[in-house]
Amino acid sequence: MSQKIFQLFLFFISFSLFAQTTMTPEKLWEVKRITAMGLSKDQSAIVYAVGTPDMATNKIPKKFYLLNLQSKSITEIAKPEEFLPDTKISANGRYRLSTEEVKMLPVFGKDLYPELDQSNVMTFEDIPYRHWDSWEDGKFNHIFVTEIPIPTNKKDLLEGKMFDCPILPFGGDEDFIWHPSLQKVIYVTRAFEGKPTAMSTNTDLFEYDLKSGTTINLTDDNEGYDLQPSFNAKGVLAWLQMKRDGYEADKQDLIILNGTNKVNLTAAHDHIHVESFQWSADGKSIYFTSAINGTVQLYSVLVDNSVEPGKKVKKSKVAAPKLYEIKQLTQGDFDITGIIGQVGGSIYVTRQDFNHAVEIFAVDNGSGQMTQISHVNDAFYAQIKTCKTERRYITTADNQQLMSWIVYPPDFDPTKKYPTLLYCQGGPQSPLTQFYSFRWNLHLMASQGYIIVAPNRRGMHGHGTKWNEDISKDWGGKETQDLLAAIDDMSKESYVDKDRLGAIGASFGGFSVFYLAGNHENRFKTFIAHAGIFDFRSMYGTTEELFFENWEKGGAYWEKDNAVAQKSFAKSPSNFVQNWNTPIMIIQGGKDYRVPESQAMQAFQAARLRDVKAKLLLFPDENHWILKPQNALVWQREFYKWLKETL
């Protein structure tokens, strides 16, 4: 190698090392966001979207691409729908499924008095009167079957019913599908009106017959959620199911209707909580995702679908385990966030981890080996320093194993001391895995010089059903002891500055922060709570999904003879404000009807009346999340500004 070439080589090496920098809020909003839309019609490519945040327009515009599975070439396309199979058109091309809003109830003043069309008033006679981030307007999502090409020949499958399909607020096209016979439609709805919709999680799968116009309930024997119906090529129906009404975080199992028998494929596996699933290409297996030990992995289960649909299967008291043996296909410190589909021996998925946003990967169906096939953010991350992450285990006071994720700053030096943040997860029953958030981004937090302690406290999927359920009706109990045990254990390390500890969190994590503010025995120097529940009584009186409150608290606050409910309401953070003495920043969305803005207002007012340093960050046009780019960047800047001021 010549001297000149060698010097040039050293220059590029040193430039590459020099160019690496730490993540900042501004850089986080340069990260492109991949959404896999599915396999192309001919299954030769993956159709996906890439959203690029644009601060100037305050939007995240998308472009669409075709990723060829053989050549790995990428082509930009204008109309992704032209490349995707249209699952809403029947296979014989005669009918189309669609949804439309249908006005069923008068709500506004002009509905009642048409001549008063400038009035601004809403009227309600029952709950719920609002949901998630929208007020009820008297309209309901209905499914329509339209004959092609005769648009006037149109049938409302929910005619006269004040039911919704898709289910609000997050249901989509997966809530209604064609039956393989092409003469029937399977759809999901909550088949009751008014108050019960706020009190129950009971959704069912319904089968509508186009010829007879009759509807039957396929899951009337189940009292909880039934969701995401999907057929394989032989006509075997699979779906997701929770057993108990009112419990939105019950163990979610994978069910098939084989012949006339309903078979639970995952019931015998205590740690399995199915997040999403898809049939294999040959219809003999189902691929699904589930949390385990702080990650989300891909699994498969072999299905016995040898019986023709509609024929009776000989029942046995216990399903043969060999038929429903579950295989974990992937392993590693990452999350499988979605299943795109199978082509040949490869299953295509999306994957992320604490240091990297979503990209598309191929999983070998035999070995589980993963190969990254999209590289949207590779160049960006090549310039960004990553953070070391590791699991840390401790034994709790009740002799349980508690796992925490620890995220260290880039270039971590164990001879130095670092301020440390206790990250309190939301939920309350949600897995704390290798997620990549554009707000609660642990990589970004650590890159500002903080060690992050993120405990998988009670209420987390992936550690068994009992661990997940130990949080209900015990808020402020074992899960709070888990949080404190995790931060206390980490504080023993010489590199943790135990005089500079903070606690942060959103939703249930926001509740955790409010509760810790009155019960932390001066461990923490600062707090940040986003969309947290501060006062249990006013929360019960203003939130919309009351099934959640009834399950988690055990009943209403006025049930004086209900010992469980009374014990729960006694743990309201508002009951411990007299102990508040630590700076706290409170963040809230004005259109958050799950945890209404009055919760944040009460907490902020209480803090200031106690002469506690506090800041209220209110986003009038945001819901439970912060979605608009400029709002989100303000969120980030204020978040780290507060930590710099108080920690």
pLDDT in tens, 172-201: 999 999 999 889 999 999 999 999 999 999
Active centre residues (catalytic): 507, 592, 624
Kindly indicate the confidence band of residue 494, based on its pLDDT and cuts at 50, 70 and 90: very high
DSSP structure class, residue 579: G
Torsions phi, psi for 373 (to 5 deg) = -120, -10
Q: Which two tokens stand for residue 606?
A: 């209480």
CA dihedral defined by 592, 593, 594, 599, rounded to 10 degrees?
Answer: 80
- Beta-carbon contacts of 543 under 8 Å, excluding residues fewer than 6 positions away, are 549, 593, 594, 595, 596
Find the Cα–Cα–Cα–Cα dihedral 8, 12, 14, 20, rounded to 10°. Answer: 170
pLDDT of 47 > 60? The answer is: yes
Among 231-235, 271-275, 443-447, 642-646, which is the least confidently predicted range?
A: 231-235
Q: What is the pLDDT of residue 322?
A: 43
| Helix-strand-coil split of the chain, %, nearest 5 | 20, 30, 45
What is the distance between the alpha carbons of residues 542 and 558, in angstroms, rounded to a whole number? Answer: 15
pTM of the model: 0.94
Provide mean pLDDT across the span 499-517.
98
Residue 598 CA to chain centroid, in angstroms?
24
Quote the pLDDT of residue 305. Answer: 58
- Show the beta-strand stretches assigned E in 490-622: 496-506, 526-530, 584-589, 614-619
The two structure tokens encoding residue 208: 């509508």
Give the C-alpha separation, 188 to 172, whole Å: 10
Q: Is the pLDDT of residue 348 over 90?
A: yes
Distance CA 456, CA 467 (A): 10
Residue with tokens 């100037």: 56
Amino acid at position 503, single letter: A
Stretch among 1-5, 257-261, 363-367 having the lowest mean pLDDT? 1-5
Mean pLDDT of 388-399: 96
Residue located via tokens 């601004």: 120
**DSSP-assigned letter for residue 323:** G
Mean per-residue pLDDT over the chain, rounded: 93
What would the pLDDT profile of 297-342 be if each residue is shown by its tens digit?
999 999 875 544 555 544 434 343 345 789 999 999 999 999 999 9
Residues 570 and 198: their CA atoms lie apart, in Å, by 24
What distance in Å separates the CA atoms of residue 71 and residue 318, rounded to the nearest whole number? 47
Could you tell me which of 184, 99, 85, 94 has the C-alpha nearest to residue 148?
Answer: 94
Mean pLDDT along residues 423-429: 96
Q: Judging by DSSP bridges, how do beta strands 496-506 and 356-364 pair with one another?
A: unpaired
CA 520 to each of CA 44, 326, 336, 527, 603: distance values in angstroms, whole numbers, following the listed order = 57, 43, 35, 11, 17
**Is residue 485 predicted with pLDDT exceeding 70?**
yes
**Is the alpha carbon torsion for 544, 546, 548, 552 positive or negative?**
positive
pLDDT at 323: 53
Decide if 177 contacts 231 (C-beta within 8 A).
yes
Residue 644 parent element (H or E)? helix 629-646
Give tens-digit pLDDT for 84-132.
999 999 988 999 999 999 999 999 999 999 999 999 999 999 999 999 9
- With beta carbons less than 8 A apart as the criterion, state whether 302 and 285 touch: yes
DSSP alpha helix (H) spans, 131-231 = 195-199
Average pLDDT score over residue span 129-145: 97
Domains of the chain (ranges; CATH) run 385-646 (3.40.50.1820)
Lowest mean pLDDT among 104-108, 153-157, 234-238, 313-317: 313-317
> What confidence tier does 151 reach under pLDDT thresholds 50, 70, 90?
confident
- Mean local confidence (pLDDT), 245-256: 97
Rounded to whole angstroms, the Cα distance separating 464 from 483 reads: 18
CA distance 240 to 275: 9
What is the spatial distance between Cα 486 and Cα 516, in angstroms, rounded to a whole number? 14
Least confident of 177-181, 499-503, 514-518, 564-568: 177-181
For residue 241, give both structure tokens.
């199911």
Mean per-residue pLDDT for 439-462?
A: 97
Peptide bond into 169 cis (omega under 30): yes
What are residue 418's phi and psi, to 5 degrees? -125, 140
Is the predicted pLDDT of residue 516 greater than 90, yes or no? Answer: yes
Q: Are 573 and 511 in contact (CB under 8 A)?
A: yes
